[in-house]
Amino acid sequence: MFAQLATYLILSILLYHLSPTLKFINASPYQECAFILKSQSLLNQLKPNSIDILCESIIDKYLNQHIYIYIGEFSSYYHMKNNKLSKRCK
**What would the pLDDT profile of 17-40 be if each residue is shown by its tens digit?**
655 666 777 777 878 877 888 888
Amino acid at 72: G
**Cα separation of 56 and 83, whole Å?**
7
Q: How far, CA to CA in Å, does 16 sit from each of 5, 13, 28, 90?
A: 12, 9, 34, 21
Look at 23 and 41; give whichever has higher pLDDT: 41
pLDDT of 1 reads 56
